Structure 1
Amino acid sequence: MSQPAPGGPDRATAATGDVPLPRIVRAMAVVERVGNALPHPFWLFWILAAILGAASAVMAGLGVSVVSPSDGETVVVRNLLSGEGLAMAVSTMIGNFASFPPMATIVAVIMGVAVAERSGFLAALMRVSVSRVPTGWVIFAVAFAGTVAHVASAAAYIILVPLGGLAFRAVGKSPILGVVVAYTAIASGYDASPIPTPNDAIFAGITTAAAQIIDPAAYVSPLSNWFFNIASSVVLAGVITLITKLVLEKRPDLDPDPDADLENIGTLTLTDAERSGLRRALTALVLALAVLAALVVPAGSPLRGEGGSLAESPLLDGIGAIVALLFGLVGIVHGHRVGTIAKPADVPALMVQGIRQMAPVLVLFFAIAQFLAYFDWTHIGDVIAVRSAEALETSGIPVVVLFLLILALLTVINVIVTSGSAMWSICAPVLVPMLMLIDVPAETTQALFRIADSGSTAVTPMSPYFVMALGFLQQYRKSAGIGTLASYTLPLAVGMTVVWTALFLAWWALGIPLGPGAPVR
């Protein structure tokens, strides 16, 4: 991993605000050492399962129990290390994996997104979105494109971060800032997409499993935070624009190296076939959405729920499949025009590539599914949730203060455990039931988690995409290191987290629904 050059120019040790770069470098080094000491998330969940087993044995031996608020029955902690626990663990292992809530949805969505990505549609869309804006709007355009780019999951970094540098350079701004703005918008705004993403399905599934500890009938839709996400994406793009103009553009170290090979870094230009394919794909998308709307609008539509409801309806139940089909449609239309899809057999081949890319996540899901099943079976989650809720009620801590404390805790965890699905799998079984017992909906807790899961991501070297962004930055400045990139992203990440938190608290105070059928309180 690259470090700032010893004895390098002043720009390599410049200050950002009141935080000297050397201090940032030291802090990042500590974070990196601590993070590297952690096991792979796959093994981390098995270690947690072992700790859970030991804790359940002790608590069961002490006869720990609580009265369930859902049915008034006494719930006793069960010993995972007992014969009964061993039988449960062995007999349900495959079932736990197969029934893991996000599993089917995320696989279906990824197949559709893979067609859109690998046909070249998403890359062409991002290039045109940042290249056809007035000079004064380029910062906002790149920042907002960063939130939209999340539909491409990890590919968003590969596609948009270098495009950010090209877009800024094309309008006479520093390409270094373009890389920083694009990377930070993706990393620190990762869970604020105005378009449903694979992450929405993953988080909703984990939240549903956690909520069912208290309410077995609970269901959290992938669109449960959609309204909040749309507003968040616009607000965060505005924050990035403001801080870039007021702080980052004032830095003296924005010029690329004199010998940087700027001509061979890339281009924003689309070919005639790409432009034509993009137009056809977007036309097909509009027509598909019009057909979908025509099917949903009638009060007696089969896609509506009981009494004509949209909040609980076949439409929302199948939103993952609908998103996958829409992505697949635009990918096929675009790919057919540009030649990346020449025959029908190419489409499932692209889907296979998308699933292959998801293989590490599916392996992690296996471990997560077992841990969550064990946690539920032992009833430790019930005990923690009920006892914590009782303590909170008697303490008189305002809910808003509790939100801030949880946000701070999750933000610290996110610096070390950068996998959102892993962190939420650990925290959701405790936080979601606990807050549900003090009348905070599961969807609201998930929205709070989104802020913490995103905010600090742009400054932690534990994220593999931090290193990737550093590589793009080094195309313009060879001496750039971890501290260099962190010094650029820090004011943006802090500003985004503060304003995003304020938006959440205002949303809560006003009682605005977080998404379809998802009241904030």
Structure 2
Amino acid sequence: MGKERKSGGVLGAIERAGNTLPHPFILFLYITAGLAVLSAVLSLMGVSAVNPTTGETVTVQNIISRDGLVWIVENMLLNFSGFAPLGLVLAMQMAIGLAEGSGLLDTFMRRAILGVPLWALSATVLFLGINGSIASEASIIVIPALAATAFQAVGKHPIAGLIAGYAATNAGFTANILITGTDALLYGVTEDAAQMIDPSVTLTPAINWYFMIVSCLVLTVVGVFVNDRIIVPRLGEYKGSEKADERTATDLEKKGLRNAGIFTLIYAILLLICLVPQNGLLRGENGSILESPFITGLVPILIVYFVLAGVVYGKTVGTIKDSGDIPKMMANSLQSLTGYIVLVFVIAQFINMFSYTNLGTIIAVNASDALQKVGFTGIPLVIGVILLTILVNFFMTSGTAKWYIFAPIFVPMFMLLGYSPEFAQAIYRIGDSIANPLTPIYPYLPIVIGMAQKYEKNTGIGTIISMTLPYSIAFLIVWIVQVIVWMAFNLPLGPGASVFLA
């Protein structure tokens, strides 16, 4: 007899509490209404803060005022159409949907897992997920879905795979064995903040590289432990109606996979031709790779790949008989996103309204000022900055936007205490990653809920958060330990970057 799903303990209480919340659409309506009232009250109280980047005094904007109501009317449709994750989600879903509809993903997964030990599957999902930030936010959509399929195919609970992929791509987002676009975005802000203390400071995108390589490996090991010892036993045996296809690939499917593999090789060679030469088509104007069309256009490159690979496979095995099948498969793949699109409408209003009120900036500035006044140093300072970043992440999910606010405060504060600006950035990145999968306003949370409901219809916000919480806590603990080790031995954070100032 299979193991039953566990529903007790702290995680069970969190799941039950979270799942008693109303539908996310209604929940965000309530939150938005509460935001409007709060903005009115704080505006009347004259609450403000000084933006450390610009030096300007930022006041609370009242949504219920005439100006606020006019702003709502004029921007409601713009908020929706300009919601950046929506375009990414729809485009990636069409591309992946074609690859899935043609049968490519199913065959690839069944072939890829043959003979792979279960521990290796968990480690592979987590390692790829943690390194998924090289593909920007597209990994948050791709990896959890593929991980669920892979876990189901070997008889493990698909939601265990989905959660492992979701936790890895979010809580481990900042770690990577390569230099990513995130490194390129953050280091410039850090450099500007450091020059407030020392105008001669110059930094590079690689200032946290060594630290993040080790983080990637450590988080993978810890993630496997959490998955195998906490999440899988808690979920028990999968008894849903969505069954895995346990048959082996046919000769025709193997041929289709081979042809898709040949196409993948050709596609990779073409990319290298455009990328390796100093004057390559996908290089930046100064020959840079980090600041280049390759990095900014990585999502479109992935979309084109999934579409063409799906077409090659589909034409080989016969699932795509004529050109009309291609748009049909892409359209069918969007049917599962109708609920998400409706939800995005109200989420986009809330996020833009919150930005309009200036509450995010005011909360971040006042919270960081309070931390500075406490006078922490050493490990307490590190933990304080991490916890503060986690707290603010529940109100402001954009990592770059938060760093624009925090960097002019944290970096000089760290430097005056003898710590390097590179160290300040590394500490911030830990806090920014940890809370990503736990934030109810995170724009990709509804997507993951929808993926999970494919396997268990009663999945809600509480289910996802209660399952990702063990990952976030475990990652937080080992990251703090890693920071302590780096501080104790003054290990290099990256090329030419150390914990302490010389």
**TM-score (ref. length: structure 1):** 0.66
How far off its partner does 1:498 sit?
Answer: 4.3
Letter of the structure 1 residue corresponding to residue 153 of structure 2: L
Give the number of equivalent residue pairs. Answer: 431
1:91 aligns with 2:104: no
Separation of aligned partners in 2, 1:228 and 1:127: 35
**Cα distance change on mapping 1:409 and 1:240 into 2, 3 Å:** same
Separation of aligned partners in 2, 1:229 and 1:278: 34
1:405 aligns with 2:387: yes
Separation of aligned partners in 1, 2:212 and 2:312: 28
Match of 2:14 in 1: 31
Match of 2:124 in 1: 144
How far off its partner does 1:78 sit?
Answer: 1.8
Instruction: Determine which of 326, 329, 334 is the counterpart of 1:350.
Output: 329
Match of 1:70 in 2: 53
Q: Secondary structure at the match of 1:70?
A: coil
Match of 1:60 in 2: 43
How far off its partner does 1:388 sit?
Answer: 1.8
Structure-to-structure mapping, 1:331-480, within 5 angstroms: 331-398=310-377, 399-405=381-387, 434-439=405-410, 448-453=431-436
Q: Secondary structure at the match of 2:58?
A: strand
Q: Secondary structure at the match of 1:66?
A: strand
User: 1:275-312, CA deviations, whole angstroms, 9 ceiling, x for partnerless residues?
Assistant: 11112112211211111111122222343223222222
8 A contact 2:59–2:358 mirrored in 1: yes
Separation of aligned partners in 2, 1:506 and 1:360: 46
How far off its partner does 1:273 sit?
Answer: 1.5
How far off its partner does 1:111 sit?
Answer: 1.9
Separation of aligned partners in 1, 2:362 and 2:334: 38
Separation of aligned partners in 2, 1:71 and 1:431: 14
8 A contact 1:120–1:335 mirrored in 2: yes
> Which consecutive residues of structure 2, in runs of 5 or more, have no partner in the other structure?
130-138, 194-207, 412-423, 441-447, 496-502
User: 1:73-92, CA deviations, whole angstroms, 9 ceiling, x for partnerless residues?
Assistant: 33222211001100000111
Q: Secondary structure at the match of 2:286?
A: helix
Separation of aligned partners in 1, 2:112 and 2:213: 18
Separation of aligned partners in 1, 2:494 and 2:78: 38
Identity %: 29
**Cα distance change on mapping 1:145 and 1:301 into 2, 3 Å:** same
**Cα distance change on mapping 1:451 and 1:467 into 2, 3 Å:** same
Separation of aligned partners in 1, 2:110 and 2:49: 56
Letter of the structure 2 residue corresponding to residue 340 of structure 1: T
How far off its partner does 1:444 sit?
Answer: 7.5
How far off its partner does 1:40 sit?
Answer: 2.1
Match of 2:85 in 1: 102
Q: Secondary structure at the match of 2:323?
A: coil
Separation of aligned partners in 2, 1:497 and 1:127: 34
Match of 1:163 in 2: 153
**Cα distance change on mapping 1:488 and 1:83 into 2, 3 Å:** closer
**Cα distance change on mapping 1:373 and 1:106 into 2, 3 Å:** same
**TM-score (ref. length: structure 2):** 0.68
Separation of aligned partners in 2, 1:256 and 1:66: 52
Separation of aligned partners in 2, 1:93 and 1:104: 17
How far off its partner does 1:322 sit?
Answer: 0.9
Letter of the structure 2 residue corresponding to residue 140 of structure 1: A
Structure-to-structure mapping, 1:471-510, within 5 angstroms: 498-499=477-478, 510=492
Letter of the structure 2 residue corresponding to residue 164 of structure 1: V
Separation of aligned partners in 1, 2:70 and 2:406: 32
Instruction: Determine which of 234, 243, 248 is the counterpart of 1:269.
Output: 248
